[in-house]
Amino acid sequence: MRIRIENGRVLDPASGRDEIGTVWIQDGRIQAVVPAGQPKEPLGEQPEGRDMPAEIQEIDAAGCWVLPGLVDLHVHFRDPGFIYKETLATGARAAARGGFTAVCPMANTNPVVDTPERVAELLKRAETESVVRILPIGAVTKGLAGEELTDMAGMKAAGAVAFSEDGKTVMNAALYRKGLEQAAALDMVVMDHCEDANLLKESVMREGTPAEARRVSGVSHASEDVITARDILLARETGARLHLCHVSTGASARMAAQAKAEGVRLTAEVCPHHFTLTYEDIPQGDTNFKMAPPLREKEDVEALRQGLKTGALDVISTDHAPHSEEEKARPYPEAPNGIVGSETAVALAVTELVETGVLTPLELADRMSFRPAQILGLPYGTLREGSPADVTIVDPAAEYVIDKNQFASKGRNTPFHGRQVRGKVLYTIVDGKIVYAAEEEEHD
C-alpha cells in the first residue's frame, strides 16, 4: 500500500522545506514530496522488478502540519519491574497518541538496563509490543548504584543509543569522568541528570504550597546548577558528548549556551512543564505538580523559552514519568516525583511556544524531530526522499481541553488536566504504517 498525504503544510527542517505539498509513502520510505502546483503523482519509475501498488490510502491534511515523526529523547516506561505504572505497550501507545514515532526509554527499570543482554531483550520485546521505535538508553553504572561502570561497548553493540543514570546523578566525579571517557571513545552520548544529592536533602517540600515551593526553589536551583557546571567541565576535559536532561534553571541554560560557544560537545533539552508552569501554579498539596527538577520561577521559564528560540537549548523532550494514583495520593513529601508527558507535549508546545511567537512551526519541528534524531546520529527526523517513513500530522488550530481520562498511558499524573490548549495530533505514521489516527479514537 502507498500513502498519499496531500494539501498539508510540509515542514522538514533537514531541507528547510516549509510549503504546501503532497507526501508520498511507499515500502516504509518517503518516496517523494511534491510541492503544490505540480502533478501529485511523483516522477520517476519504480525500482526494477517492483510493481506499483494499486491501493492508495489518501489523507487530506488541509490546514495541518505534516512533520517528520517526533523523537522523544527522554521517557520512563517502567517495564520491566513496575508495570502497574506503565508497560512497554501502553507507553508506546501513549507516545504514538502524542505524535512520537521514536522514544528513548531510560534505564531505571527493575532490573536496570545495564547489560548488553538487557538491551537486546528490550529491543526483542519491542518488535511485538511497541507500535513506535524503541531506542534504549543504557545505564552508566551497574544497577544505577554509582559505584562501578557498565559495559558500555557491549551495550552499544547490542543496540543502546546513549547512556544515562536519569533519575540519579553519579555523585562520584572521578567515576563519572571515567564513564565520560569511555563514552567518548565510543562516540556515544551521555544523558545527564543534574542534581546534587547532598544539596537536595535540604530541599524536600514539607507542604505543597507556593510559599514552600519558593523557599525550596532557592536551594534546588543550586542542586541543579552545581552538577551542570561540574559535568560541563568534565565534558570539556574528556571530549565527551554530554546531553543535559530536563534543564529547568536560567543559570543552567546560560551555562549550556556558553559551553557550546566554547566548543564543548554539549546538547540540552527542555520539558513542556518547565517552559509552561512556575512554582506559583502549584495548588496546595497537589502532587501532580511534584517533579524533579521542580517547577521554577518566571525568570527561569523565560530563560528556557529564549534558550529554545536561540538554539542554545536544543530539543523538547517529555520526561514522561507515569505513577499510580495511589502513589500520587500520598502526602506531598512522600509522593514520587514525575508527571506523564507524551500525550500533552505537542499541544503545550504549540500553545506556549508557537502561538506566542517563541518558535515558528519549522523550528518546532526541528526541536521535536530533526535535532533529537541528529543528537543520536539516527536517520529519522526528516521527510527527505528515501528516509524512513515516520510522519506526524498535527492540526495546529484544533482547540480542546486536556482530559487525563482519555490518555493511552496508564499514568494519570498530570498537572494539565482541564487545561485549554491548541494543537492536536491527528495521525502518527511509523515505518509507513499508521499507528495512531485520532478519527478512529473518536469513533470508538
Which residues are known to be catalytic?
A: 319
Q: Which secondary-structure segment (H or E) carries 216? A: helix 210-238
| Cα 239 to Cα 233: distance, rounded to the nearest angstrom | 10
Residue in the block written with cell 537549548: 313
In 10 A of CB 433, how many CB atoms?
14
Radius of gyration of the chain (CA): 21
Amino acid at 56: I
Alpha helical stretches, state H, 21-172: 88-97, 116-129, 152-158
Whether residue 391 contacts residue 417, with contact meaning beta carbons closer than 8 Å, is answered with no
H and E: helices and strands count for the chain: 14, 17
Parallel, antiparallel or unpaired: strands 29-35 and 100-105: unpaired
| Cα 171 to Cα 264: distance, rounded to the nearest angstrom | 21
Nearest C-alpha neighbor of 109 from the set 122, 127, 97, 120: 122
In sequence order, the 6+-apart residues with CB closer than 8 A to the CB of 380 are 68, 69, 71, 101, 102, 133, 369, 373, 387, 388, 390
| Opening angle at CA 131, ends 129 and 136, nearest 5 | 70
Cis ω before 136 (30° cut-off from 0): no
Residue 302: all three cell numbers together: 523565560
Identify the DSSP state of 33. Answer: E
Whether residue 133 contacts residue 104, with contact meaning beta carbons closer than 8 Å, is answered with no
3-state secondary structure of 198: helix
